[in-house]
Amino acid sequence: MKIFIKILLVLFLLIQRQDSLFAQFTFFNPKESFAIEVSLPNSDLKRLPIYRNSISSMIVTGDYIIGGTSANEGLTPFVFTASLKQQQVVEVIDFNLVIPGQQAIPTGFCRGNNSTFYAGTLANKKAGGAEGDGHLFNAEIGQEGTISIKDLGIPIPGEGIISLTLDSEKKILYGVSYPSGLFFKFVIDTREIKTYKNIAVTDKQKELYKEYEQGPQNYLCKSLIQADGLIFGSMPVNTIFYFDTKTESFNIMKDIPEVWGRRTMGQIESWARSANGEIYGGNAGDGQLFEIDPVTKNLRNLGKPIGMNRLRGLAFGDDGKLYGIAGSKPGYSHLFSYDEKEGFVDFGNPEFKMTAHGIEQGILWRGFQFGTLASSEDGKYIVMGEDESLSQLLIFAVGSKNEPRVGE
């Protein structure tokens, strides 16, 4: 009889457990994940000053995260390196001391040979208000995370560079200029430049965008990816193209997956390629993730990870999952993962522990606005760079166990 009562009691407690009122959100803060303090005004530590540190370009090489920033108008950016092992910034270069007058490094870094990485810039406006001249440059990363920057010149006077990709075998850079949206080819060794008007915004399109209060940042191709001699990107209005590097021809492919009524917002702002060659893209306008078969060019809309627009970064982890950042102002960025089996998993705003000299006990840093995302070469880390007035790095250790903290 006593055993029977005990069983009844256990069953009763289990039923109570199932009726849990758990509803409050929790923060995604796996134990091995961490934040690195990159920005801190008035400090003797290697840190970036306010309004010049929005992390808009990022790549990871070995132990080092390489970051390129964007500054507020009239101010100038930085290039920095941070160590994953040391969990701190190791080198900071004031870009204005190398190439003056630049405002942003928006292109991401293209991986070249011998620890050399390529990127492009947007310049501050010239005196009188004319568009500044964006530069191409390379950054050589030393064994200890040191940075050496070399100016490769101005590919198109009066234009900045908004996106870039590299054919590392042929040592050719392909990019899109700002604000005209000219496609260009730049041979690194000879500095030979060739421009194409095929994907540039037309006057008629500019009129259309003006009607919707949209500027070049909203419609130009923000991200390019190179796959087997084809370069994929987006062009006005809401269209995907690819450029065949062999034939030097443009192919208008498909519409970007859209939600009714948001066609003018269609713009690809992130790409990633899986180990088996599939290409994944993110649409800024509505935040959809889509997949392109590079052989058949078939496109599949995989849907939206969260309710907001924007998809500002994509990269694969060593668990084979695609990680990305979805959403942006006026909401918050979310970290998400995607794979065929699980579909989308939304991790919300990451909140990781930041430890540094002076805050040895560690403080929790919640990431609200991310500008970019990259994975380490071994796929063990997903690195997110903030887009804030004081931006930091948040690093998710792939596969580490989440120990959620209830939000308050």
Give how far Cα 235 sits from Cα of 161, 222, 255, 344, Å. Answer: 15, 10, 10, 27
Reading the block at residue 370, the tokens are 């991310």
Q: Closest distance between other proteins and the C-beta of residue 345, in Å?
A: 15
Q: Which stretch binds other proteins (CB under 8 A): 22-30, 173-181, 200-208, 220-228?
A: 22-30
Residues in binding contact with other proteins, number by CB under 8 A: 38
Contact between residue 137 and residue 99 where contact means Cβ atoms under 8 Å apart: yes
Contact status: 215 vs other proteins (CB under 8 A): no
The amino acid at residue 353 is K
Q: Closest distance between other proteins and the C-beta of residue 303, in Å?
A: 17
Q: Closest distance between other proteins and the C-beta of residue 172, in Å?
A: 39
Torsion region of 269: left, alpha or beta (phi above 0 gives left; psi -120 to 50 gives alpha): alpha
Contact status: 83 vs other proteins (CB under 8 A): no
Task: Between 336 and 365, name the residue whose CB sits nearer to other proteins.
Answer: 365
Task: Tell me the per-residue interface mask from 354 to 393 with other proteins, x by CB under 8 A, - otherwise.
Answer: x---xx-xxxxxx-xx------------------xxx---
Exposed/middle/buried for residue 7 (C-beta within 10 Å: 0-12, 13-18, 19+): exposed
Q: Please count the other Cβ atoms lying within 10 Å of the Cβ belonging to residue 12.
A: 10
Applying CB under 8 A, among 32, 43, 291, 345 the residue interacting with other proteins is 43
Contact status: 20 vs other proteins (CB under 8 A): no
Instruction: Please give the sequence-ordered ranges of beta strands (E in DSSP) within 30-159, or none if there are none.
Output: 34-36, 54-61, 64-70, 78-83, 88-94, 102-104, 110-111, 116-120, 122-123, 136-141, 147-153
Task: Tell me the per-residue interface mask from 257 to 296 with other proteins, x by CB under 8 A, - otherwise.
Answer: ----------------------------------------
Pairing of strands 172-178, 311-316: unpaired
The answer for residues whose C-beta is within 8 angstroms of residue 15's C-beta and 6 or more apart is: none
Query: What whole-number distance in Å separates Cα of residue 268 and Cα of residue 168?
Result: 23
Give how far Cα 289 sits from Cα of 63, 133, 338, Å. Answer: 29, 33, 9
Pairing of strands 343-348, 102-104: unpaired
Contact status: 250 vs other proteins (CB under 8 A): no
Applying CB under 8 A, among 268, 308, 374, 394 the residue interacting with other proteins is 308
Q: Closest distance between other proteins and the C-beta of residue 334, in Å?
A: 8
Binding to other proteins (CB under 8 A) within 102-141 occurs at: none
Give how far Cα 183 sits from Cα of 103, 152, 219, 224, Å. Answer: 21, 18, 14, 11
Task: Between 117 and 336, name the residue whose CB sits nearer to other proteins.
Answer: 336
Q: Which stretch binds other proteins (CB under 8 A): 125-133, 137-145, 227-235, 323-331?
A: 323-331
Contact status: 195 vs other proteins (CB under 8 A): no
Q: Which stretch binds other proteins (CB under 8 A): 176-184, 230-238, 297-305, 344-352?
A: 344-352
Applying CB under 8 A, which residues contact other proteins? 23-25, 27, 40-44, 50-51, 306-308, 327, 330-332, 348-349, 351, 353-354, 358-359, 361-366, 368-369, 388-390, 407-408
